[in-house]
Amino acid sequence: MSHEPRLVEVRKNILKQNDLVARGLRQRFRDAGVFVVSLVSSPGAGKTSLLEQTLTRLHPRFRVAALVGDLATENDAARLARSGAPVRQITTGTVCHLEAAMVETALDGWALDELDFLFIENVGNLVCPASYDLGESMRFVVLSVTEGEDKPLKYPTIFNTSDVALLTKIDLAEPVGFDWDAALASIQSVRPGMRTLGVSAKTGAGMSDYLALLEAGLQSARGVAAAGGAAVAGGAS
């Protein structure tokens, strides 16, 4: 005897497990007052060079650390470690993106409350990382001026899920005939109001505005942590 199948409503996010881990991470980052920035881009956009400069410039004044996702090698971690900041590599094998659980595992043993900034460099890929929340405070999408002004239109999802667009290698903008207006129009078309900064890790151009944005983020992260601590203290009294 056959029965009609029953339809059972579920309505849950398919990546529920990742979202749960990401939510836990975000809470830990908030409690510790650490400002967490993830970087996504296509391969070769200059994430590692930018991060090398970022760590080197922040390291004397702030406690910084980085997690670096890579498919196969540990070269990026070795490069970044030269800044003196603690760096850990997440080797993903064939997986084309980082997931929250990989970040959680990589953080094992690190005292987050002894950090001001944590940077997470995703695997070079403008498609897959878009679906995975890592618990970060801010997601930066990195686009080099040598890639073409219409890249945001080709990869709208990653731009739409990011908070800030960083145009890198701006020292090459003139030699490659980069059209700033077209690039900014593309970005604004897929993510109206998106904050956009231009930097050159090589010459240092634009780095001060970029670092100021990071420091402002840290101030707000510390404010949230302090308010949370005060609320807990208030609740206990």
Partner 1 sequence: MHELSIALSLVDLAQEEAGRQGGRICAVHVRIGPLAGVVPEALLASYEMASFRTPLEGSRLVIEQVPLVVFCPSCQAQRPLDSVQSFCCPECGTPTPQVDHGRELELVALEIET
Q: How far is the CB of 11 from partner 1 (least distance, A)?
A: 6
Q: Is 175 helix (H, G, I), strand (E, B) or coil?
A: coil
Q: How far is the CB of 31 from partner 1 (least distance, A)?
A: 27
From the list 33, 35, 64, 29, the residue with the least C-alpha distance to 224 is: 33
Of 1, 3, 93, 175, the one binding partner 1 (CB under 8 A) is 3
| Cβ pair 33, 115 in contact under 8 A | no
Residues 6+ apart with CB under 8 A from 46: 142, 144, 168, 169, 201
Q: Helix 47-58 crosses helix 207-236 at what angle (to 10 degrees)?
A: 60
**64 strand-pairing partners:** 117
Q: Helix 207-236 crosses helix 16-32 at what angle (to 10 degrees)?
A: 90
User: Binding of partner 1 at residue 141 (CB under 8 A)?
Assistant: no
User: Binding of partner 1 at residue 131 (CB under 8 A)?
Assistant: yes
Q: How far is the CB of 92 from partner 1 (least distance, A)?
A: 11
User: Binding of partner 1 at residue 16 (CB under 8 A)?
Assistant: yes
User: Binding of partner 1 at residue 237 (CB under 8 A)?
Assistant: no
Each residue 89-128 as x (binds partner 1 by CB under 8 A) or -, in order, gives ------xxx-x---------------------------xx
Nearer to partner 1, 18 or 53 (CB): 18
Q: Which region, judged by CB under 8 A, interacts with partner 1, from 12-20, 39-47, 83-91, 112-120? A: 12-20
The C-alpha atoms of residue 28 and residue 21 are separated, in whole angstroms, by 11
| Cβ pair 46, 201 in contact under 8 A | yes
Of 1, 10, 72, 111, the one binding partner 1 (CB under 8 A) is 10
Of 192, 233, 235, 237, the one binding partner 1 (CB under 8 A) is 192
Task: Please state the length of the chain.
Answer: 237
Of 157, 203, 208, 219, the one binding partner 1 (CB under 8 A) is 157
Q: How far is the CB of 125 from partner 1 (least distance, A)?
A: 9
The C-alpha atoms of residue 120 and residue 106 are separated, in whole angstroms, by 11
User: Under the rule (CB under 8 A), what is the footprint of partner 1?
Assistant: 3, 5-18, 95-97, 99, 127-128, 130-131, 153, 156-158, 160-161, 188-193
